[in-house]
């Protein structure tokens, strides 16, 4: 607290990201990064980048990058918005679509940045309860709200809603914006982008941080009908004209175009996830069936926090959400097969 702070700063409870330890080389399974590096085509684009370009501001519309996303999804350019990580796209979306009179709705177990944005923009949040198995009952979502946001698959539960359920949600709430945050959709789910032209109230948000191995470059995007994208452009151009830098534009474009590499990375993550799921179960964990690049797992006979601390002691970092509805669980990112084997070996010793 300081006398120099604005009133709103005094009320903020900022988001706390997973640790990025600088002092020890962990087997890092705590922030759902992709273990496979970016595509060779990304390295090639960076190596051939004209460094003199850095004296110039980037294209404020990041047109080439947006075009590569539009091409991949067979959408029009004016249906694509890009931002500095999907966190920025999410923040602009809260401001563009949810800053209204009524509350917004999201699951009571979900991405912990949502309440933070709601708080930042002074938007009332109304949580709807996920079921005991963490699945979401679409019919239970309140009509008394001005917008809905949910990740699909949900994070950190990894629970996935089939496309017909998303359709049902969009139909039930056709008079408000529904945002589907698809940060993890490429690891086995079906994207709702295919519904964008049918539903004027749908905004799909994705990221380059997970399936495209570019968490360090900070690119996220939204796909929706042109009227929603225009709202995002208006917010962005009232905040920062150049959220995507020159290097991110060329590297992101290359990542988007290397479809074969992207698909093979996702496939490997899916296979390793299946292997890890089985191993964890045989070690006495209850695992939620995941369509993401992480597994939410509950040690049935041990205290989850103690397992998290013991793993850390043994050089393996997973995510533990203390004081939450999932404090009996660990969230474990899927890494290379070798690293997942190290996790299983460490757990075998610890347990
Ligand atoms: C559900 C969800 N949405 C969005 C993000 C943000 O991703 P980024 O800002 O790296 O694009 C994350 C990151 O972990 C996430 O879990």
Instruction: Count other Cβ atoms within 10 Å, centred on residue 31.
Output: 17
**Nearest-atom index, ligand 1, CA of 110:** 1
Q: Is the dihedral of CA 343, 348, 350, 351 positive or negative?
A: positive
Instruction: Give the domain ranges of the chain.
Output: 7-37+260-350, 40-258
Pocket of ligand 1 (CB under 6 A): 32, 85-87, 111, 151, 155, 181, 183, 207, 209, 215, 220
Q: Determine the average pLDDT of the residues in 167-172.
A: 98
Token pair for 64? 């080439």
For residue 82, the CA-to-ligand 1 centroid distance in Å is 14
- Protein residue whose Cα sits closest to atom 2 of ligand 1: 183
pLDDT at 23: 81
pLDDT at 20: 86
pLDDT per residue over 212-245, tens digit each? 999 999 999 999 999 999 999 999 999 999 999 9
pLDDT at 277: 98
**Nearest-atom index, ligand 1, CA of 90:** 4
Mean pLDDT (the chain) is: 96
Query: Percent of the chain beyond pLDDT 90?
Result: 94
Q: To test ligand 1's pocket by mutation, which of 17, 34, 111 has the most ligand atoms within 8 angstroms of CB? A: 111
**Nearest-atom index, ligand 1, CA of 155:** 1
- Split at pLDDT 50, 70, 90, the class of 24 is confident
The CATH T-level fold of domain 40-258 is 3.40.640
**Is cis: bond before 95, omega within 30 of 0?**
no
pLDDT per residue over 271-328, tens digit each? 999 999 999 999 999 999 999 999 999 999 999 999 999 999 999 999 999 988 999 9
For residue 309, the CA-to-ligand 1 centroid distance in Å is 25
- Split at pLDDT 50, 70, 90, the class of 163 is very high
The pTM assigned to this predicted structure is: 0.97
**Nearest-atom index, ligand 1, CA of 210:** 10
For residue 134, the CA-to-ligand 1 centroid distance in Å is 19
Residue 251 near residue 45 (C-beta atoms within 8 A): yes
- Split at pLDDT 50, 70, 90, the class of 104 is very high
The CATH T-level fold of domain 7-37+260-350 is 3.90.1150
Q: Determine the average pLDDT of the residues in 152-160.
A: 97
For residue 282, the CA-to-ligand 1 centroid distance in Å is 30
Q: Which of 319, 270, 291, 274 is nearest to 153 (CA)?
A: 291
Q: Which of 137, 143, 128 is nearest to 173 (CA)?
A: 143
Residue 27 near residue 316 (C-beta atoms within 8 A): yes
Q: CA–CA distance from 134 to each of 107, 223, 228 (Å)?
A: 10, 27, 30
For residue 300, the CA-to-ligand 1 centroid distance in Å is 29
């Amino acid at each position: 607290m300081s006398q120099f702070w604005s009133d709103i700063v005094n009320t903020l409870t900022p988001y706390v990201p997973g640790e990025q330890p600088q002092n020890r080389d962990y087997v890092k399974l705590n922030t759902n990064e992709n273990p496979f590096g970016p595509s060779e085509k990304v390295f090639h684009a960076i190596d051939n980048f004209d460094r003199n370009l850095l004296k110039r501001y980037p294209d404020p519309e990041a047109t080439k990058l947006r075009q590569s996303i539009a091409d991949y999804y067979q959408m029009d350019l004016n249906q694509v918005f890009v931002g500095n990580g999907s966190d920025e796209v999410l923040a602009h979306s809260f401001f563009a679509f949810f800053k209204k009179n009524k509350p917004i709705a999201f699951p009571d177990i979900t991405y912990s940045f949502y309440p933070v944005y709601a708080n930042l923009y002074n938007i009332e949040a109304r949580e709807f309860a996920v079921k005991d198995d963490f699945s979401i009952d679409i019919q239970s979502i309140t009509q008394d709200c001005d917008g809905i946001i949910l990740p699909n698959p949900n994070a950190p539960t990894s629970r996935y809603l089939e496309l017909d359920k998303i359709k049902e949600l969009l139909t039930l709430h056709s008079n408000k914006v529904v945002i589907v945050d698809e940060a993890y959709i490429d690891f086995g789910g079906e994207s709702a982008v295919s519904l964008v032209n049918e539903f004027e109230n749908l905004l799909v948000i994705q990221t380059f941080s997970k399936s495209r191995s570019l968490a360090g470059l900070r690119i996220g995007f939204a796909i929706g009908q042109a009227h929603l994208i225009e709202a995002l452009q208006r917010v962005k151009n009232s905040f920062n004209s150049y959220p995507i830098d020159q290097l991110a534009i060329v590297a992101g474009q290359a990542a988007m175009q290397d479809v074969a590499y992207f698909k093979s990375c996702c496939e490997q993550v899916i296979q390793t996830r299946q292997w890890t799921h089985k191993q964890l179960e045989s070690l006495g964990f209850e695992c939620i069936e995941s369509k993401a690049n992480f597994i939410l797992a509950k040690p049935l006979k041990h205290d989850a926090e103690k397992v998290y601390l013991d793993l850390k002691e043994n050089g393996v970092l997973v995510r533990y959400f203390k004081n939450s509805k999932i404090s009996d669980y660990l969230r474990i990112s899927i890494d290379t097969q070798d690293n997942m084997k190290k996790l299983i070996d460490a757990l075998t010793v610890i347990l």
